[in-house]
Amino acid sequence: MNDPTPTTERRAGLAQRLPRRVLALGRGRDDGRQGVSATVRLDRRTKNLTKRLQPGDVAVIDHVDLDRVSAEALVSCQVGAVVNVAPSISGRYPNLGPQILVEAGIPLVDDVGPEIFTKLQEGDQVRIEDCTVFRGDEVVTKGMAQTAETVDAALVEAKAGLSTQLEAFVANTMEYVKRERDLLIDGVGVPEVRTKLNGRHALIVVRGYHYREDIATLRPYIREYRPVLIGVDGGADALLEAGYRPDMIVGDMDSVSDDALTCGAEIVVHAYRDGRAPGLKRVQELGQDAITFPATATSEDCAMLLADEKGASLIVAVGTHANMEEFLDKGRAGMASTFLTRLRVGSKLVDAKGVSRLYRSRISTWSLLFLVLGALVAIVTAVATSPAGGVIGPLLADRWHAFVFWLTGLFS
């Protein structure tokens, strides 16, 4: 369950990714008041809030057992502080979100109560000192200020309840088998799509753990094999950010941008088992066609089941949930479907998670420079000792001067 990277190194790396403005917010103000003073943004859904956050904002969320993906999204938004209505660690299981925020140097005030949503409005200026939220000199609410020590202690206590969560996970798995055995075994309910998957590779991208690193590592594979690119909700935006256009978007459409939905990809809306698809209205309002996929599975599971059922020869997963730690960290009973989906897909599935850490080029920049220098020395030596050197030498000299002239012209 523990990250092998030393804690001090993780904290230093996270701190380097935060701008000086955000880091300075925690050191106090010139008027003598200590703490964080900034604009407040509020939303009960963390993934909706991250779309509006600006660097230095105070994020007010209602997120019990803050998971890793949500915490990393808040860090990437460069928030000045996080105020949570609910406990960020309830003790049900050792979730990773609070540790990520604290190690990034972001103040976290926990369990302040739901009244903050009625006392504050979007855009208010607030100040956070220790465990207290102020608006001017008015005390808005108080909570628990999380530190590295309190988070570590809570994680230790949460591990004691892990067996209970495992039992619940198994029970949810059995319940899912009863509800969706036809879909899992025979593929009943998988919709017809126009995108051709038969015999091709499918690259399924979820905006989850280490998705950027894995997409970067897979660039040679994408260039060579031209897989069908499937974005799961925000995974479609991850593909666009990397310079690729998704061929298909699968999801409930609550965390994907309008740009992605209108990029020309085929859209498959994940619906409830009874056929209700709240995300369909948004797609239709954008003037896009879509088909629905009713299932109690998660959206990433629907993408895998669809690719498998339509004959994909290989399924490469980026950013998906791959192990028990990530299943529990997500904190959803529906994650049991992901476990069974991976069993269903079987040997077709290749998880790209960790590829960027497993493989790195062993050729350093200095090695390449020495290689180029050696090649130049060899060429010069060959030209100097060759009988044709008198002809080739001036030609190479002219080429070199032309290159230098072009290079200096770029900076003049």
pLDDT tens for 164-178 read 766 776 777 777 777
188-239 residue pLDDT tens: 789 999 999 999 999 999 987 778 888 988 998 898 899 999 999 999 999 9
pLDDT of residue 395: 73
Quick one: what percent of the chain has pLDDT higher than 70? 77
The three-state secondary structure class of 229 is strand
Per the CB < 8 A criterion, the answer to whether 323 and 335 are in contact is: no
Distance CA 254, CA 232 (A): 11
Q: Do 45 and 134 meet the contact criterion of CB atoms below 8 Å apart?
A: no
**What CATH number was assigned to the domain covering residues 7-160?**
3.50.30.10
CA distances from 97 to 43, 108, 340, 409 (A): 17, 11, 25, 51
pLDDT band at 161 (very low <50, low <70, confident <90, very high): low
- State the Cα–Cα distance between residues 282 and 217, nearest whole angstrom: 33
Question: What's the pLDDT score for residue 184?
Answer: 74
Residue 7 has pLDDT above 80, yes or no: no
The yes-or-no verdict on residue 82 having pLDDT over 70 is yes
Total-model pTM: 0.61
pLDDT tens column, 115-160: 999 999 999 999 999 899 999 999 999 999 999 999 999 888 887 7
Domain-wise residue ranges, the chain: 7-160, 162-358, 365-410
Counted residue by residue, the chain has a size of 412
Residue-wise pLDDT for 234-289, tens only, equals 999 999 999 999 999 999 998 899 999 999 999 999 998 888 999 999 999 999 99
What pLDDT is recorded for position 41? 95
Beta bridge partners of 139: 134
Instruction: State the pLDDT at residue 345.
Output: 84
pLDDT of residue 119: 94
Query: Is the pLDDT confidence value at 362 over 60?
Result: no
**19 pLDDT band (50/70/90 cuts)?**
very low
- Model confidence pLDDT, tens digit, residues 287-329: 999 999 998 888 888 999 999 999 999 999 998 866 555 555 5
Spatial separation of the C-alpha atoms in residues 239 and 303, rounded to whole Å? 15
pLDDT at 67: 86
